[in-house]
Amino acid sequence: MNNLLKIEKNYTKNRIQLKKKTFILLVISFVILNFFLSFVINISSTTKKIENSYFFIADLRSNLNEEEKNKTEVEVLNIEGVKKVRYLSKEEAFKNLQFQLDIAIPKGENPLSDSLLIYFDSPARLEKIQENLENNQNIKEVFIDANFIAYKEREMKFYKLILVSVILGMTLPSMAMIYYIFYNAVSIEFLNNVDIIHDERVNAARSKKVNLLPFTAASIVGTLIFFNGYIYIREQMLKISSKYLILSLGEIILIEGLIILMINILIWVNPLKLKKVFREES
């Protein structure tokens, strides 16, 4: 009798320890998943900034009045592929030039023209945009920095390659690992009750149900741990250099929160085909 009680006690203790280990594994897995998700979000943001940085300069003719300048700006903005146009006066351009060269030049010696900074969406459209500008009588000359655009294209391809690699090589495997841990927890719970609950459907439903709340709790704890770590790491990196393009927690929390919520919904709704799998195991 004492031996039976001892066996029962050890059995219960082992089950509790197993549940604790499963919970810890899920928490760690969600921390890792959130890290990769933040990486993906930051890379996507950087890629978007690069897409918005394609631009060139078009000088305006010197005899244009304000109405003609505004009209030209609207015409350029309506060209297919042009995302944004900003008017740059010759005074502002002259000031920027002095700042870049770090020299002082008398204002009377300003050789620059009023111009338009033209932002476009893709280098593939550049030739067509240039043709339209050359047909505009108010445009004196178009200046395109081919080296700058080529550099931006290489930078874009590099970040897109990293993005795809992180999604396929890290983020999706992390999600698969979380699913695998949860599936194993349900499997163990099912097999531990095979001799007690003879109805497989009831056993399968119960085995999943008792693991749902711990799963959701682990996702919340893991996500909160990551958010605190993200704030600290971001602060330390910005102390090293303010040039790091790292999004704030407020900029990623909504997206990551929605992804974690979707994972929980899928786990709660997905039947996992427990009946078929567990019949084979049993």
Find out whether 149 and 80 touch, Cβ atoms under 8 Å.
Answer: no
Q: Is the pLDDT of residue 212 over 80?
A: yes
Average per-residue pLDDT in the chain? 85
Can you tell me the mean pLDDT for 273-278? 50
Predicted local distance difference test score (pLDDT) of residue 277: 46
CA angle 173, 19, 211 (to 5 degrees): 70
Find out whether 252 and 41 touch, Cβ atoms under 8 Å.
Answer: yes
Percent of the chain with pLDDT over 70: 85
Predicted local distance difference test score (pLDDT) of residue 199: 77
Can you tell me the mean pLDDT for 236-264? 90
Name the token pair of 183. Answer: 């599936």
Find out whether 195 and 4 touch, Cβ atoms under 8 Å.
Answer: no
Question: Which residues in 216-243 are b (16+ Cβ under 10 Å) and which e?
Answer: bebbebbbeebbeebeeebeeeeeeeee
Q: How confident is the model at residue 243 (pLDDT cuts 50, 70, 90)?
A: confident
Query: To 10 degrees, what angle do helices 2-51 and 172-192 make?
Result: 160
Q: Is the pLDDT of residue 261 over 70?
A: yes
Query: What's the per-residue H, E or C state across the chain?
Result: CHHHHHHHHHHHHHHHHHHHHHHHHHHHHHHHHHHHHHHHHHHHHHHHHHHCCCEEEEEECCCCCHHHHHHHHHHHHCCCCEEEEEEECHHHHHHHHHHHHCCCCCHHHCCCCCEEEEEECCHHHHHHHHHHHHCCCCEEEEECCHHHHHHHHHHHHHHHHHHHHHHHHHHHHHHHHHHHHHHHHHHHHHHHCCCCCCCHHHHHHHHHHHHHHHHHHHHHHHHHHHHHHHHHHHHHHHHHCCCCCCCCHHHHHHHHHHHHHHHHHHHHHCCCCHHHHHHHHC
Can you tell me the mean pLDDT for 200-224? 91
Predicted local distance difference test score (pLDDT) of residue 3: 52
The C-alpha torsion from 123 through 127 and 128 to 134, rounded to 10°, is: 130
Predicted local distance difference test score (pLDDT) of residue 112: 76
Per-residue pLDDT tens over the stretch 31-90: 999 999 999 999 999 999 888 889 999 998 888 888 888 899 999 999 999 999 998 887
- Mean pLDDT comparison of 74-83, 222-231, 269-278, highest-scoring range: 222-231
Per-residue pLDDT tens over the stretch 139-196: 888 988 889 999 999 999 999 999 999 999 999 999 999 999 999 998 888 888 777 7
Query: At 35, which amino acid appears?
Result: F
Q: How confident is the model at residue 275 (pLDDT cuts 50, 70, 90)?
A: very low
Predicted local distance difference test score (pLDDT) of residue 108: 61
Predicted local distance difference test score (pLDDT) of residue 202: 83
Residue with the two structure tokens 């351009």: 93
Predicted local distance difference test score (pLDDT) of residue 11: 54
Query: Among 95-109, 128-142, 145-159, 251-265, whose mean pLDDT is lowest?
Result: 95-109
